[in-house]
Amino acid sequence: SVQNIRDVAAVCKKYHIPLNIDAARYAENAYFIKLREEEFKDQSIKEIIRAMFDCADMFTMSAKKDTVVNMGGLIGVKDANSPLILPIKARCISYEGFTTYGGLSGRDLEALAIGLYEGLDENYLRYRIGQMEYLAARLDDAGIAYQAPVGGHGVFVDAQAMFPQLPYHEFPGQVLAIELYKEAGIRSCDIGSYMLGNDPDTKEQLHAAFEFTRLAIPRRVYTQSHFDIMADALIAIKERAHEIKRGYRIVWEPPILRHFQAELVPIEE
Ligand SMILES: *Cc1c(COP(=O)(O)O)cnc(C)c1O
């Protein structure tokens, strides 16, 4: 909420800490602010974004999300005389490229310049969030639990509710991801104990508070039929969920961010 951003900004101001906005989801967040925050219900997405960014000293943006482009991002610093600018500039060449293009090709920069506007179109945002709501409504009808209300970028299905028989250390969220792939070729991922990983000191598997399977929805890719396939696949899995007696165990894992690359095998009964 803008109220939350303002409260954080007040604390930062008091202690002279520059406030940076992670702007990857700025447009979808502005749309949620319009829907949910009384003060902003009659304002345009652009005006709401103005109110958000008025609170901050700088922003970093992965443009691959709300700016609807294949590649790219940017850093903005509000005050042209800010002491933040020179250290950013100094590191830019070795990490990304010259400050004017940051390693991006001209084609990507042009797409980004257009996407910064297109991503703010309220009709587009309504259609985008509407896709999540459509899938959520089908899950409601089928009695399939998910994190509610749905967010902007995807639907998080409650895999522990789907497989109450599976303990966290057999990775219910990953089991559902694998079943979705087997059922209908749908690629998703665990947001649960499998992603959380091991305690850095004891090396014990951590127990996540939730075992979700994330259906992250790319922008402007799927039609309503695709969402029906997702819902139908989840319903089919729910019907046979009790037949799944065991989950998976890890046979290889990298030391960090293991969930992107680890290798799993089914646990035999
Ligand atoms: C995706 C995302 C990032 C990271 O962006 P990448 O371009 O994938 O590195 C950072 N912050 C938020 C809020 C995001 O959603």
* Structural domains in the chain, sorted by start: 2-118 (3.40.640.10), 124-266 (3.90.1150.10)
Average pLDDT of the residues of the chain? 96
The CB of 65 under 6 Å from ligand 1? The reply is: yes
Determine which residue's CA is closest to atom 5 belonging to ligand 1.
62
pLDDT of residue 39: 97
The CB of 25 under 6 Å from ligand 1? The reply is: yes
> Helix-strand-coil percent breakdown of the chain, rounded to 5?
50, 15, 35
Per DSSP, the residues of 183-221 read HH----EEESHHHH-B-TTT-PBP--S--EEEEE--TTT
Instruction: In whole angstroms, give the CA distance from residue 48 to residue 26.
Output: 10
Determine which residue's CA is closest to atom 2 belonging to ligand 1.
24
Task: Give the predicted TM-score (pTM) of the model.
Answer: 0.90
Determine which residue's CA is closest to atom 11 belonging to ligand 1.
24
What are 211-230's pLDDT values in tens digits? 999 999 999 999 999 999 99
The CB of 20 under 6 Å from ligand 1? The reply is: no
Quickly state the pLDDT bin for 269 (edges 50, 70, 90).
confident
Is 173 within 8 Å of 213 (Cβ atoms)?
Answer: yes
Residue 62 Cα to ligand 1 middle (Å):
5
Among 86-90, 135-139, 262-266, the range scoring the smallest mean pLDDT is 86-90
Residue 223 Cα to ligand 1 middle (Å):
25
Residue 162 Cα to ligand 1 middle (Å):
29
Residue 73 Cα to ligand 1 middle (Å):
10
Q: Which atom of ligand 1 is nearest to the CA of 64?
A: 7
Instruction: In whole angstroms, give the CA distance from residue 119 to residue 117.
Output: 5
pLDDT of residue 231: 98
Q: Is 198 helix (H, G, I), strand (E, B) or coil?
A: strand
Determine which residue's CA is closest to atom 13 belonging to ligand 1.
24
User: Cis ω on the peptide bond leading into residue 18 (within 30° of 0)?
Assistant: no
